[in-house]
A and B are shown apart, each in its own frame.
Chain A
């Protein structure tokens, strides 16, 4: 009994490893269809030669990445994983180690650019791993299925993220202003057109986590709360009136989508977090069952 159980577990470890490497490759080389469609629409919408040229180059590059199976952007990011782990998935305790090893192997196999450095010495580890890298975010849920999302996050856009502890008297008006100001401050740097993930509520760390969840949501889905969905649409219209345009060279399309996630917060505060995601909004997900069956969701 224990022998066969062991052998099942060993198999599952290699399934998770292999799936993770596949996800790293898929994410780096194929853009999710919602983002691609939004870029196609934007290219039709732009009127100036400079803006059109930027979007045409982006679309041509996306096609090349798919055809060649090569990373669409040289900044293959810092590797982040978002896990929805069923509490009865068998090898929960081993996942962190497996994911780290998968990043090491994926760095060679895809290939990914080694980006992970020690923040003090600036020494590059050479294989995209390091202290707390890959970054792993856990949510334990009921059931026996592991849902794994690879999010390679480029830092041109990440560096433009913003956080503010607004007050109740700043209100939603203050929130809108903070979002617009964050985007204008970012300007050309995050490779617009971008996606804005906005977190509202929670505490200082929680609000950024909400913002990240917002980035992970499809552009085709609005917030379930109709009032928040309305705010998402209003913010999208407002930020596109900045005129920053593709690559900051002017134009109609600065933002492809605005997603908001929120949580209750303290009565004294209105925390707001904005995570900026470049047009190369790469991510890939899969579900893994305890019997080793894998379903790719991308």
Chain B
């Protein structure tokens, strides 16, 4: 496993070098977006409306953090990843429209996204689910928040991070997908389990 450190803005060339199974740490600017932010951003795009933040080259984090305001300043309390497959139907369009090359989440993504990543030049990285404080520790500060009307989890939080990781490159820009390898094994194992409980 090779280890890499990346800094935003991240370009296509930066991610083309990385392979599934690599460990990476990222430094720079990340933004959170879940279901609602994806949908609204794509609606803006369709209507030719500018987003409140230029997302180009930034890292997309599937996360709905816990934040609080202390002395008029936002602080991140906990910020682990959320399940990425919920964004599967919109992610390919989202990352290509807004020039996002690194997506961080948990649980992996589907074929539509991984094919788009191969074509467009982007990667998906897994961060251990539920490890909200390991994540929060790597967040230096909240640069801004947009669309807070969507609620704290669904808003876009723009975060300044330092050595955020370790992240495992789970889908690379060559079409490799670690989760698919596991899924193939699981299907083989399912057959063996069925045989044990006398189901053919």
Interface residues of A (CB under 8 A from B): 49-50, 53-54, 57-58, 60-61, 64-65, 68, 70-76, 111-115, 117, 122-124, 126, 154, 156, 159, 173, 176-177, 180, 184, 187-189, 191, 238, 241-245, 247-250, 278-280
A sample of 19 inter-chain contacts (CB < 8 A) reads A53-B166, A57-B128, A57-B166, A61-B134, A70-B133, A71-B132, A75-B80, A111-B66, A112-B66, A113-B153, A115-B153, A124-B150, A184-B190, A189-B107, A242-B189, A243-B185, A243-B186, A248-B108, A249-B182
Q: B78 to A70, Cβ gap below 8 A?
A: yes
Q: Which of A242, A248, A250 has the most chain B CB atoms closer than 10 A to its own CB?
A: A248
Contact between chains at A113 and B182 (CB < 8 Å): no
Measured between alpha carbons, how far is A79 from B192 in the docked complex, in Å? 39
Hey, which chain A residues are within 8 Å of B64, CB to CB? 74-75, 113
How far apart sit A58 and B134, CA to CA, in the bound complex (Å)?
A: 9
Interface centre among B80, B129, B131, B154 (most CB of A within 10 A): B129
* Residue B37 is within 8 A (CB to CB) of chain A in the complex: no
List the 5 closest pairs (A to B, CB-CB), nearest first: A124-B151, A191-B129, A188-B107, A57-B128, A61-B131
Complex contacts, A49 vs chain B, CB 8 Å:
1
Bound together, the chains give a CA A154 to CA B128 distance in angstroms of 15
Across the interface, name the chain B residue whose C-beta is closest to A250: B182
Task: Say how far A66's CB is from chain B's closest CB, in angstroms.
Answer: 10
Which A residues lie within 8 Å of B190 (CB)?
A: 180, 184, 242
User: Quick one: given A70-B77, A71-B77, A73-B80, are A238 and B179 in contact (CB under 8 Å)?
Assistant: no
- A-side binding surface: helix, strand, loop or mixed? loop
For A176, the chain B residues whose CB sits under 8 A away are: 197
Q: Complex formed: what's the CA distance from A154 to B65 in Å? A: 13
Given contacts A61-B132, A250-B181, A280-B130, 17 further A-B contacts (CB under 8 A): A50-B21, A50-B178, A57-B131, A60-B134, A64-B137, A70-B77, A71-B133, A72-B78, A112-B66, A113-B153, A114-B151, A124-B151, A180-B194, A188-B106, A189-B85, A189-B107, A249-B168
Q: Is the CB of B182 within 8 A of A75?
A: no
Best-buried of B80, B134, B183, B199 by chain A (most CB within 10 Å):
B80
The prevalent SS among residues of B at the interface is mixed
B182 and A248 form a contact (CB under 8 A): yes
Nearest CB of B to A111, in Å: 5
Query: B137 to chain A: which residues have CB within 8 Å?
Result: 64
Verify if B196 is at the interface (C-beta below 8 Å from A): yes
> Complex Cα distance A62/B23, Å?
22
Task: Give the distance in Å from the alpha carbon of A250 to the alpha carbon of B153 in the complex.
Answer: 29
A71: which B residues are within 8 A, CB to CB?
Answer: 66, 77-78, 132-133
Cβ-defined contact, B152 with A184, below 8 A: no
Would you call A247 and B77 a contact (CB within 8 A)? Answer: no
For A184, what are the chain B residues with a Cβ–Cβ distance below 8 Å? 186, 190
Within 8 Å CB of B144, what residues of A? none
User: What B residues does A250 contact at CB under 8 A?
Assistant: 181-182, 185
Asked whether B108 lies within 8 Å of A188 as measured between CB atoms, the reply is: yes
A126 to B108, CA, bound (A): 29
B47 CB-CB contact with A under 8 Å = no
Residues on A with C-beta less than 8 A from B128 are: 53-54, 57-58, 61, 247
* Interchain nearest-CB distance for B40 vs A (Å): 12
Given A73-B80, A74-B63, A242-B193; A247-B133 close (CB under 8 Å): no
Whether the Cβ atoms of A242 and B186 lie closer than 8 Å is yes
Chain B residues with Cβ below 8 Å from A114 are 151-153
**A72: which B residues are within 8 A, CB to CB?**
78, 130, 132-133
Contacts of B129 in A (CB 8 A): 156, 191, 247, 278
Chain B nearest CB: distance from A201 CB in Å?
Answer: 20
Chain A min CB distance to B146 (Å): 16
The answer, yes or no, to whether B27 is at the interface (CB within 8 Å) is no
Contacting residues of chain B (61-97) with chain A, CB-CB under 8 angstroms: 63-66, 68, 77-80, 82-83, 85
